[in-house]
Chain A
Amino acid sequence: MIRYFLLIILLASFASAQCVKPSDFMFINESVEFCSDTFDVPNGLNVVASDITIDCKTAILRGNAGVSNIGILVENVKNVTIRNCQVLTFAQGLFLKNVTHSLFEKNNLFKNNVGVRMLYSYENVLRDNNDKSLTVPVSAIMSKFNTVLLGNKDIDRTFCEVNACNKPKEFNLCEEGDFYCSPSCLNIDADCSSSIISPNSSDVEEKSGDKEIKTEIGSEEFAKENTSSLEQKKEVQVMTKKEGMPLLVKLALYFGAYILAFFALRLFKR
């Protein structure tokens, strides 16, 4: 009986060892599950790898009110999932910078100045997150095609014009002239041809107050994909689209036609 009891305790300790205790300013580059507890992380956590899942298991990530800046910083990644986190007392609970195709669900963002801030982020889904922020629940700058569904409130802000707020919306991802090249529109969207705002492949320069931050992003694979698809796109363009007539040729045509009509009419009248 005692053996079984010890075995159960050992197994339980082994099982509990699977969870990770988040530390302050921790860099996360693989999928993790946090232990269900309260953690003081005044400098927040950094998510720096794509294709990972972070399950907080209702862990509370707490900052210093009025001092701590970002709770969870997700930067230059794609296809990341963050769920079940409780982020408290930061200036910005969740900061998404140059993030695409990611999912943020069932998080609670309380007593932050801004719940979620998005910058250069596209095609993300935020759903079933509860928010009680001090100023605004969600802020989005230079971000499009995101779906923002808060669990406890509706939002009505200007970024909702280009993002889906409160209910899912179908986007035309391949819209031309929006300076965004979705990976699903490489051969269709004209924005994919030259200057592209594309996930994890460009340099992002931004000014935050008087501090200038330059972020260099180096995902070579994505760059290669883009280069090859751009070549394909150019070929398709050459094959399908004629070049526009030069302005001078047009003017010459108009003028020539006018002169011809002038003399033709004079001859006709005689």
Chain B
Amino acid sequence: MKRLRQVVKKEVRKSVSLRNYLEPLLILPYVFLGIYVYENGFNILSAVIGLLLLVIVPAVLVAFREEL
């Protein structure tokens, strides 16, 4: 039983790596875009950032999905 607990703990540790904490950081630019548009309205800068985040970044992620 004790041995089993140790194995489960190791499994959990392996499953929660640094990558798991870094990947969600990708959401932050989108939150920034939302706040920016809320505060300043739709302008040229928000359009550029929106294009980058909603078109270019997803495209890059899809293209290099295998390597990532």
Contacts and interface: CB of A to CB of B under 8 A. Distances in A.
Given A262-B20, A265-B20, A265-B23, A242 B39 contact: yes
B28 A265 contact: no
A258 B24 CA distance: 6
A262 B35 contact: no
Interface string B39-58: 10000000000000000000
Given A262-B20, A262-B21, A265-B20, A250 B35 contact: yes
The bracket for how many chain A residues form the interface is 10 to 19
Interface string A210-254: 000000000000000000000000000000001011000010011
A244 B39 contact: yes
A28 to B, nearest CB: 52
Contacts of B24: 258-259, 261-262, 265
A149 B37 CA distance: 47
28 contacts: A242-B38, A242-B39, A244-B39, A245-B35, A245-B38, A245-B39, A250-B35, A253-B31, A253-B34, A253-B35, A254-B28, A254-B31, A257-B27, A257-B28, A257-B30, A257-B31, A258-B25, A258-B27, A258-B28, A259-B24, A260-B27, A261-B24, A261-B26, A261-B27, A262-B20, A262-B21, A265-B23, A266-B20
Contacts of A258: 24-25, 27-28
A244 to B, nearest CB: 6
Contacts of B21: 262
Interface of B: 20-21, 23-28, 30-31, 34-35, 38-39
Given A253-B35, A265-B20, 5 more contacts: A242-B38, A242-B39, A257-B27, A262-B21, A266-B20
Nearest to A263: B24
Contacts of A266: 20
Contacts of B39: 242, 244-245
A261 B29 CA distance: 12
A64 B17 CA distance: 87
A157 B27 CA distance: 52
Contacts of A259: 24
Contacts of B26: 261
A262 B39 CA distance: 26
A250 B38 CA distance: 11
Contacts of A261: 23-24, 26-27
A256 to B, nearest CB: 9
Contacts of A242: 38-39
A250 B32 CA distance: 9
A250 to B, nearest CB: 6
Contacts of A244: 39
A265 B26 CA distance: 11
B20 to A, nearest CB: 7
B4 to A, nearest CB: 21
B22 to A, nearest CB: 10
Contacts of A250: 35
